[in-house]
Amino acid sequence: MVSLINQKEKKRFIKFALVGVSGTIVDFGVFNILTIFFNHMGINKIFIFEAVIFASILSFIIAVFNNYYWNRNWTYPESKQFSHTDQLIKFGTVSLVGLLIRTPLFAWIREPVIDIVSASLTYNFFMSPEVLGQNIALGLVIVIVLFWNYFINRIWTYRKI
């Protein structure tokens, strides 16, 4: 019985990870499209945020909706028997805390990572050191927040499954 449960959890974790990959693609895609757009339009600040931080926040939110949809419908299809509103609120709360972890961490490591990339690139790369550094910083914070999101969602949002 324990082996069957472990196999089911392994399968769920793989599905959760694949959903996470799709969310990461959405996150990076939206982030880079917004960053290019803001740079092209000469927008440096949106509300109280630097444009790149705002792009990171918005890309995260869109990726959260992607992940919620796929986790509810594919990773945890049994969850459809429970309240959609309740799960969305829980998933959104976990994600909001993840965003509160991610945003200051991204803002804090972005410049040092850009500096490291700038010092490391000795030839013309297809991306500028700034774009590459921002993407590396975003990747690092995504990995950190991934663990938070998985474990808290598993024990709270999808606890009954």
pLDDT value for 5: 64
What is the Cα–Cα distance from 93 to 90, expressed in whole angstroms? 5
What is the Cα–Cα distance from 113 to 133, expressed in whole angstroms? 5
Task: Give me the phi and psi of 149, to 5 degrees please.
Answer: -60, -45
Q: What residues make up the domain containing 55?
A: 2-157
Which amino acid would we find at residue 121? L
Query: How many residues would you count in the chain?
Result: 161
Task: Please report, in tens digits, the pLDDT of each residue of the chain (161 residues total).
Answer: 456 568 888 888 889 889 989 999 999 999 999 999 999 999 999 888 899 999 999 999 999 999 999 999 999 999 999 998 999 999 999 999 999 999 999 999 999 999 999 999 877 788 889 999 999 999 999 889 888 888 899 899 998 88
What is the Cα–Cα distance from 150 to 144, expressed in whole angstroms? 11
137 contacts 113 by C-beta, under 8 angstroms = yes
Residue 161 carries which DSSP code? -
149 contacts 94 by C-beta, under 8 angstroms = yes
Q: How far is the CA of 38 from the CAs of 9, 14, 35, 41, in angstroms?
A: 42, 35, 5, 5
103 contacts 53 by C-beta, under 8 angstroms = yes
pTM: predicted TM-score of the whole model, two decimal places:
0.81
- What is the token pair recorded at 7? 């196999």
Q: How far is the CA of 41 from the CAs of 51, 117, 126, in angstroms?
A: 11, 25, 21
pLDDT value for 4: 58
Which amino acid would we find at residue 75? T
pLDDT value for 47: 85
111: CB partners within 8 A, 6+ apart:
none
pLDDT value for 69: 96
Total domains in the fold of the chain:
1
Which amino acid would we find at residue 149? N
